[in-house]
Amino acid sequence: MRKLFLLGVIAMSLLACNHTNPLLDQPETPYGVPAFDQVKNEHYLPAFEEAIRQNKAEIEAIVNNEAEPTFENTIVALDRSGLLLDRVTGVFFNVLEADGSDEMNEIAEKVSPMLSELSDGIILNEALFQRVKAVFDQREQLGLNPEQMRLVTETYKSFADNGANLPADKKERLKEINQELGLLSLKFGNNVVAETNACQFFVTKEEDLKGLPEGAKAAAAEEAAAAGHPGEWLFTPKRTSFTPVLQYCENRELRKQLLMDYTTRANHDNENDNKAVIIREMELRIEKAKLFGYDNAADYILADCMAKNHQTVDAFLQSVWAPSLEAAKREAAALQELLEADMPGEKLQPWDWWYYAEKLRRAKYALDEEELKPYFELSNVRRGAFGVATKLYGLQFEPLTDMPVYNKEVEVFKVTDAEGELIGILYTDYFPRAGKRPGAWMNNILPQYIDAEGTDHRPVIINVGNFNKPTAGNPSLLSMDDVETLFHEFGHALHGLLSKAHYKSLSGTNTPRDFVELPSQFMENYAYEPEVMKTYAFHYQTGEVIPDSLIAKINAAGKFNQGFVTTELLSASILDMDFHELETAEGLDVNAFEKASLEKMGMIDEIIVRYRPTFYNHIFTTGYEAGYYSYTWAAVLDADAFAAFKETGNLFDAETAARFRHLLEQGGTRDAQELYLEFRGKEADPKNLLRRKGFIE
């Protein structure tokens, strides 16, 4: 694994530290969670400086140990080092992403090179590497169990894959590259947030919103009033804001305006433009790959994934792209007919797709998403996701009040098993705010591991989203996509919560990127199963459980518009690979490159790629470079895994659930393919995914 598994959490004496800094003291909080309510921006930089100092001292102690290198005094010592730094980074970067500010961005710009210097200082420490290599070379004679063997192997690989075997001059250049990439990643993300926040479109005439649901209008009116424009309606490039317009608003020009605002973020030749950032990132990524003897960044990155190389990924994507594109073309033809009836002679455009797809869905299946939203109240949907985990794994979720949080909208839950033993602590933070980056995600705040005394430190996990905020008249009501997103991120949370690894660098979601999406996408399968829906889909006004007629419509429409959905996603995956298969960034024109890539793949004009380069956070900030394909790769696994339950005739079959829980508990302690084969007993069948999408019978 390329990720450096060298940082963690430790309870240690802080006699030389400033005890007024809540990040540096072991917090006196329930379950040892961070004292979010006491942390101020002024605490972060001193905390990083002290945690880095202690981590360096721990590394020096390993290097200067006069005893011969052993598994315990070198490999395990490394895994248990940097434990204070994990606590500091777990707090800072979670708050930065979910509730950041200009001041925190400035701190991040100072901290990023510090962390890069620390990481490089560890991984490129020749004396330390020689100790690691000594243990690795004799690993077969040490009588290690499988998890210990995995830790030795992955630790050695983390050094080798990050430059430990490079000559001195290349090591120095690698340090420079890593520091600059860290800063560029921050700049890219900050530019996207700034562009998203800066773009505000006010509508002054209610007739321009004809067709827009009342709930969406009310939310837009509240946003406008809060922005100092009472009596108007405010729309932004945030999905909760513009998606209802795309689906329902008859005003074609407004649909076009908002979609273009969304898809051209950070692409306006202004101070927030990301094109130059992308070019520089690609120059550095290619140079970095070539330091290790690879022709391109994709093969350097993929070597430790299940796919192994770009040829395998390209072939896989093409195998799904062809049937997806054909389905999308059929869907486009059907939507063109509807458009023609409204506007003879006009051609279907990307800003028409969602609107006419919604019309067709209502006509074909008598299914109106606005009819469903009253049944998808946020807290009920979350309760439904929790209920699935209870039925599958016996988990219980207890709300905790008066817990320290970084924002009043955050909620906290204690997770226990059937015997009442602590599994972990789960935070949820679901509403958009100015300082939160777009999208939804799961993070560790504190990882799971077992310390030298045998104490199992249970994890602290967070799920973050950007769902509709409650309005004066309505609670938070979710779309079907939102419901899937909540279940998806909760699947990641379960992967972290259920971890039973001894070593934190192998715990939870520390797996190959094309495997890590399996647990999350597996959970999506339960969202619209009738017996599950009846546990959470209650009308927020009447308390009525969702009627069978609506469930039938949802399932009848389950394969509707899947050509669009899959083509939109796969085009982003192929674009990602095209960028990272470049062998030089000389003369790279980001917009021209995107256009050529889409033309090469045969993308139809009626669909815009899910993520255009200048706001493609996944591959330019969050570590999914040459990895966005993993969502589809894991979809093959999750469809096949869910089929294992279906084959038993019981969605909660105890024996199958026990096998899948075992897979989740293992984290990265075993080879991913080996884990899946142990669960399923055979290779994943891609036809299960194609059947689910309706591409084959």
Question: Catalytic residue numbers?
Answer: 489
For residue 174, give the amino acid letter: L
H or E stretch at 463? strand 460-464
Q: Which of 171, 151, 163 is nearest to 72 (CA)?
A: 151
DSSP summary character for residue 696: -
Task: Using the CB atoms, write b or e for 155-178: b if 16+ within 10 Å.
Answer: bbbbbbbbbbebeeeebeebbebb
Continuous H helices in 125-248: 126-137, 146-160, 168-198, 214-226, 239-248
For residue 379, give the amino acid letter: S
Q: Are 696 and 690 in contact (CB under 8 A)?
A: yes
Q: Are 615 and 572 in contact (CB under 8 A)?
A: no
* Tokens linked to 419: 């015997």
Q: Are 521 and 494 in contact (CB under 8 A)?
A: no
Measured at the CA of 366, the angle between CA 365 and CA 367, to 5 degrees, comes to 85
CA atoms within 13 A on the CB side of 638: 25
Residue 549 and residue 536: Cα distance in Å, rounded?
16
Q: Which residues contact 147 (CB under 8 A, 6 or more apart)?
A: 501, 502, 503, 506, 669, 670
Continuous H helices in 343-450: 350-365, 369-372, 378-393
Q: Are 540 and 653 in contact (CB under 8 A)?
A: no
Q: Are 421 and 497 in contact (CB under 8 A)?
A: no
Q: Are 426 and 494 in contact (CB under 8 A)?
A: no
Q: Which of 380, 385, 482 is nearest to 440 (CA)?
A: 482
SS3 of 399, please? strand
| β strands within 176-289, DSSP E | 201-203, 233-235
